[in-house]
Amino acid sequence: MKRILIVLPTLTQTNGVATFLINYLENINMDGLKIDVLASNLRPSKEYQKVLKEKNIKIYFLPFIRECGLNKYIKSLKEFFDENHDYDMIYSNVINQSILIFHIAKKYKIKELVLHAHATISSDKKIKRYINNLLINIVSFQATKRIACSKLVGKTMYGNKSFIVVNNAIEYDKYKFSQQNREKIRKKINISDNEVLIGFVGRFAPQKNIYFFIKLAKILNKNYKIVMIGTGEQKNNFIKKIEEYELKNKFIFIDECNNVEEYYSAMDIFMLPSLYEGLPVVSIEAQANGLKCILSDKITRECKILTQTVFLPINEVEKWKNNCNKNIERSDIFLDDKFNIKVQNKIFKKILLNEVTNEENRE
């Protein structure tokens, strides 16, 4: 039995890293594996905790580093490893903290240290990003295996070092379009048949460039509405801004929910104007629903599944508006196995069992 500790930034439902791991762990065959999860205690999802417990995966929580400070975080990390260190592998999805985690892991002679990068930029702040990039150079040498969610992320984060791409895969059938869900959700949020519903799913954080939606709402005509699903540090301020601009009637807000697939069916267009991403899971979910997706040109084209998915500059809001009028019928869908969790989780398990090396999948 191989014992593995998977480290996550958080277990919130609109955190893409958490969603990635839940998708894989929910579908993985646990034979030969004993997995624990370590995450911050920032708004953990009851649904995600339920999924992990059903797979007999034990969950441990640390204080959120931004709230408790570095010293308390390090103390909590050391206390955790003092009591829990009988692992064969650490699979870290927190690039910034990995240098601390791997240092402590080596003290307990944990030999397999896996680093998984999920974004092309390590922080929204320039100074912090500079420091993080120095740390990444160090920790990527410490790692015995390097993982990335896309080729772009791997090349950006690891440079010339070898890495393995593990796609942000989903359960395709779960996200298929449903007319029943469309009617149910549109009725629930009071959207008529002749209104066009634009959707966003994600954190209200600088990376997601959410204030772009205010610029867009100003120039859209009255039959467009925007539903935004998620929480985050900028949400309250965002709501204040739309009230100041008298745009409140154009927006619908939904907190983290367990039925986001039903909301995709209610949408007509999905938008993600991010400043940077790795390979956003939500873009795969939305395309699996057949939605027209308008994505920032800062997002890797590796996530494109449907021919009608477009990538536009975030400083040209008029182009986004014009694309809202073009081809918003649901697309005929052909989904290959690239993002199919039923196929991809077999590769993931091989990584956990240490049956795949960086060299075998050199990018």
pLDDT of residue 138: 84
Instruction: Quickly count: other Cβ atoms within 10 Å of residue 271's Cβ.
Output: 26
pLDDT of residue 26: 94
Domains and their CATH numbers in the chain: 2-169+340-361 (3.40.50.2000), 172-338 (3.40.50.2000)
pLDDT of residue 363: 44
Contacts of 4 (CB under 8 A, 6+ apart): 33, 34, 35, 36, 87, 88, 89, 90, 91, 352
Helix, coil or strand: residue 312: strand
pLDDT of residue 362: 43
Amino acid found at 177: F
Give me the residue label for tokens 């040209």. Answer: 316
Phi, psi of 170 (to 5 degrees): -135, 170
Per-10-residue mean pLDDT of the chain, 363 residues long, equals 96 90 94 97 93 97 90 95 96 92 95 93 65 78 93 91 93 94 98 96 95 98 96 95 96 93 97 95 95 96 94 97 85 84 92 77 45
pLDDT of residue 129: 65
Helix, coil or strand: residue 266: helix
Query: Token pair for residue 359?
Result: 């060299």
pLDDT of residue 325: 84
Instruction: Quickly count: other Cβ atoms within 10 Å of residue 82's Cβ.
Output: 11
Contacts of 97 (CB under 8 A, 6+ apart): 7, 65, 73, 77
pLDDT of residue 358: 59
